Amino acid sequence: MENKNIYRSPKPLGFILRMLLLAFNMFLVIAGCFSAAKNMGLIKFRKFSSAEDRTFYDSYYYKGQYGSLRDLFYLHDLPDNEVYGKFWEIIRAAEHKNAYDDFSKAKELGYYDGDKAEEELSMLKEMAANPKYPENKEKINKLVSEVQ
């Protein structure tokens, strides 16, 4: 009687196909659980309308929390258009103020010897002189006064 090897090594193509089938089945199970939880109300997605977006972002705008506003706008990848333009303008002004603060502090400490701080300040003053949105004039002027 011959000694046949009862243990076979898997064929590579069959093994790969079985693993793909297993992965696909796992995906279907997870997607089904997610869908069931969503339908039962366990998971809720909040979709803002444009008016609700503006109200939500206005709270940061009026509190002067431009860093948080900036983070949200970059996170949600919001466009610079007529809906969000007012916010983008103040975000850019706050970025110029922060850059001025950083470059001037670096110059004081001797890490930087250029005049980039003055460039940032002049861009901030230019924004204060000619704001695209009139409601930002007072807020940008406040940022300029904090610098001087």
Lookup: tokens for 116: 């980039």
CA angle 103, 143, 73 (to 5 degrees): 85
Residue type, 85: G
Asked whether the whole model's pTM tops 0.85, one would answer: no
One pLDDT digit (tens) per residue for the chain, 148 residues: 566 666 666 678 888 888 999 999 999 998 888 787 777 766 665 555 555 567 788 888 898 899 989 988 888 888 888 888 999 999 999 999 999 999 999 999 988 877 899 999 999 999 999 999 999 999 999 999 998 7
Furthest-apart CA atoms within the chain: distance in Å:
99
Residue 62 phi, psi (nearest 5): -75, -25
* 141/139 Cα distance (integer angstroms): 5
